[in-house]
Amino acid sequence: MADAPWRVKGTTAAIPVGFFIKDSDVNDLPDLDSAEIYLWRNRRWERIYHHNFGGISLNRFAWEWVATEFENAENSKLNGKPMTAENLGFDTGDVIELKAWIEGRDDWWQGGAFSFSRRLRIRVETSFPRPDSDWMYGDTHYHTKYTANPYEYGGGLETLKLALKALDLDWITITDHASDYSDWDLNARRWNELKAWIERNNNISGLPFIIGEEITCQARTGSDNIHLLVYNNDKFISGEIDGLNNAQLSLYSRLNELNAEGLAFSAHPADSMDIMFVGDIVPWSDANIATALLYDNYYGLEVWNTRKTMESPGGNLDHINPFTSATGGWESKLSKSRDHHFLPNLEISIKKWVELLESHLNPIRKIVIEAGSDAHGDLNYFSYMDFNWERLGTNDNAIGKARTLVYAPERSKNSVLEGLKNGNSIITDGPVILIGIDKNGDGKLDKGDGDHIVGDIAFWEDNVEILISWIAYNDVGINNIKLFLGKNLIHEFDPADDNSVFGNDREGYKVFQLSSDPRQTNQYLRAECVSQAFLNRSGFSDRYRAYTNPLYLSYQTQQIPLSCHSADYQPQDNKISLSELLRVIQLYNHGAYHCLFNTDDGEWPTPDMEDEYALGKGNQDCAHHSSDYKPQDWSIGLSELLRLIQLYNSPGGYHADENGEDGFVTLK
């Protein structure tokens, strides 16, 4: 393989071009001669890089080489300089076309000398749009060389490290497949190896790499599978499969392996894939989601999985050169009848998400959406073989094309993860759309100034003023913004045609007056936007989109919790009574506790004891007790019991607060 990022931020950022050779430990490569890079300019290929390896022999699982400076270029004045758009003579808005070339000798494949080349295109762009410097872009679903099964494999880590800076991505979750089968994909040894690499290569804030997994779980329908995304767990979680790709482990058993710092999301919840001869991938069922929602570490849905508009559908080696049309572009767009990248599964996932939001408002349970590319290497475009082994092909998905923008003011791993958990984020392939309550009236939303933004829980007041703000991408204006209250569309406008807009369709804001709700029930607001249509370089019409997470609105006062402690059950009144405290002391004295119900049948039987837990070891297919939090280990420790005694002694009771050590704070 050879690869380079599909975009570069500005003209002075170095462009990394990576070369990869995989499986030379299986098929010997006795002589690697050179790696070369050519630039298409003035209707000819101009050499800008040539590195001579002198016929080295490779015998390893994965070999990687990254070029960032000119070497043996035809224009000798370039040699030793960074490989930037500026040094190549390109400006913002231009497209750089490269051909990366490997030459060597392979005794078994072609019986002698061989060469491999791949065409790459890099757009020179400005920075991604951000409301301010407290917002950080990431890709929540990315595969590296540790995804290495017979059907798919990812890219190199060293090129990725340099590509993130060029792309203008601040963080990325590495979510290689956890099959734990033979030498496929991640197992405990490889996970620890990846974790060690991440620790060596992250900065002091724990970025840009966040360790994760894509875990194959049973879908409760025979051999069919669903995928679970897990981030930031402190140990490997097996996604054991058999030789036919059939999941061996249940969803709840995998969620039980999460530690207190781990996060879980449903991967591509509406996707399905019929894989010949082996276990299929199926959509997440209502029962699957209900099981996941039993766990505090489960946060929501990866509703946007890949961003693809165009394809070259096979033949003529277009997996290494998809730019085959007469215009120098892609062979075809993916859909003739709809906005190409606005795929049906995105619509289906958004609809399912709205249903979940509607059913989890009393009390409020945040359910977050996120976006990831699901790229397997794929810094420039996505190459694939059909799982039915019919053809090779490509589409224009790549790392960071579907991305998540998170409010992370500390610019650290912990800050990014908190933003993801709280839903202080939007998903986008281009523009920024943001909603909130501008408490200080300065015309912008800044959580640091006390404003409420997406993911926050605000409180209903008469005539709440909702600020809607937007920023365009690549100077493509926004022409449709929708605001929803619950499942209902309550406002829609075109910024270019609305006299109440401050700014324009490229950047601006509008204040919308929201009347009080006569039902006086918890609600939520969310927004989405679509850009103007534009023609891409292949002559196809395209658009950009963005979706916010919800801003929650509650009629409850701040002194009443939005959720109750497990110990507060008889009645749930935001106070811990003596009998409730004695019950937890009973759990503490016994040394272990377990759940009274089993999620296999998806039902919640009537508890045969005073709360939903029983003494001793046993079934762990439910959420942990609120007092079991540091660590979550199915036992109540002394420090955890003392914390509950604090809540018991609080004269004003307690309420839920994500900043409390156990998710609660006392009231005076």
**pLDDT at residue 462 in the model:** 65
Q: Is there a single domain that holds both residue 198 and residue 96?
A: no
Q: Is there a single domain that holds both residue 232 and residue 375?
A: yes
Cα(165)–Cα(171) distance, integer angstroms:
10
What is the pLDDT confidence band of residue 668, given thresholds at 50, 70 and 90? low
DSSP 242-260: -TTS-B-S-HHHHHTT--T
DSSP 315-327: STTTTT----STT
Cα(549)–Cα(405) distance, integer angstroms:
11
Lowest-confidence range among 279-288, 295-304, 415-424? Answer: 279-288
Q: Is there a single domain that holds both residue 618 and residue 484?
A: no
Q: Residue 58: which CATH number?
A: 2.60.40
Quick check: is 601 in a domain?
Answer: yes
Q: State mean pLDDT over 347-363.
A: 93
**pLDDT at residue 603 in the model:** 38
Q: 398, 413, 429: which is the final residue of a domain?
A: 429
Cα(509)–Cα(493) distance, integer angstroms:
12
Indicate if the pLDDT at residue 514 is higher than 50. yes
Quick check: is 502 in a domain?
Answer: yes
Q: Is there a single domain that holds both residue 323 and residue 410?
A: yes
Report helix, strand or coil for 551.
Answer: strand
DSSP 49-68: EEEEEEEEEE-SSEEEEEE-
Interacting residues of 280 by C-beta distance below 8 A, sequence separation 6+: 223, 224, 225, 272, 273, 274
Q: Residue 489: which CATH number?
A: 2.60.40.10
Cα(175)–Cα(143) distance, integer angstroms:
6
Nearest Cα to Cα of residue 509 among 34, 131, 128: 131
pTM beyond 0.95: the answer is: no
Q: State mean pLDDT over 81-98.
A: 97
**pLDDT at residue 570 in the model:** 75
Q: Residue 489: which H helix or E strand, with range?
A: strand 488-493
Quick check: is 564 in a domain?
Answer: no
Report the percent of the chain where pLDDT is more than 90: 59
Cα(614)–Cα(631) distance, integer angstroms:
19
- Point out which residues pair with 31 in neighbouring strands: 105
Cα(515)–Cα(635) distance, integer angstroms:
47
Nearest Cα to Cα of residue 299 among 418, 215, 213, 421: 421
Q: Is there a single domain that holds both residue 107 and residue 152?
A: no
388 backbone dihedrals φ, ψ, rounded to 5° = -90, 10
Q: Is there a single domain that holds both residue 154 and residue 170?
A: yes
Q: 554, 587, 602: which is the final residue of a domain?
A: 554
Q: Is there a single domain that holds both residue 499 and residue 621?
A: no
List the domain range (segments joined by +) for residue 618.
578-666
What is the pLDDT confidence band of residue 652, given thresholds at 50, 70 and 90? confident
Quick check: is 346 in a domain?
Answer: yes
Yes or no: say if 434 and 92 are a contact pair by the CB < 8 Å rule: no
Using CB atoms within 10 Å of the CB of residue 499, give its burial: 0 to 12 exposed, 13 to 18 middle, 19+ buried. Answer: exposed
Q: Is there a single domain that holds both residue 399 and residue 436?
A: no
Q: Is there a single domain that holds both residue 471 and residue 516?
A: yes
Q: Is there a single domain that holds both residue 155 and residue 251?
A: yes
Count helices and strands (H / E) in the chain.
9, 40
Interacting residues of 575 by C-beta distance below 8 A, sequence separation 6+: 568, 650, 653, 654
Yes or no: say if 20 and 66 are a contact pair by the CB < 8 Å rule: no
Quick check: is 530 in a domain?
Answer: yes
What is the pLDDT confidence band of residue 518, given thresholds at 50, 70 and 90? low
**How many structural domains comprise the chain?**
4
Yes or no: say if 156 and 144 are a contact pair by the CB < 8 Å rule: yes
Q: What is the pLDDT of residues 124-141, one digit of tens each?
A: 999 999 999 999 999 999
What is the pLDDT confidence band of residue 37, given thresholds at 50, 70 and 90? very high
What is the pLDDT confidence band of residue 487, given thresholds at 50, 70 and 90? very high
Quick check: is 566 in a domain?
Answer: no
Interacting residues of 131 by C-beta distance below 8 A, sequence separation 6+: 432, 434, 444, 445, 446, 469, 471
Quick check: is 572 in a domain?
Answer: no
Q: Residue 190: which CATH number?
A: 3.20.20.140
Quick check: is 563 in a domain?
Answer: no
Cα(344)–Cα(111) distance, integer angstroms:
47
Cα(624)–Cα(395) distance, integer angstroms:
43
Q: Is there a single domain that holds both residue 96 and residue 59?
A: yes
Q: 71, 100, 126: which is the final residue of a domain?
A: 126
Indicate if the pLDDT at residue 601 is higher than 50. no
Q: Is there a single domain that holds both residue 531 and residue 623?
A: no
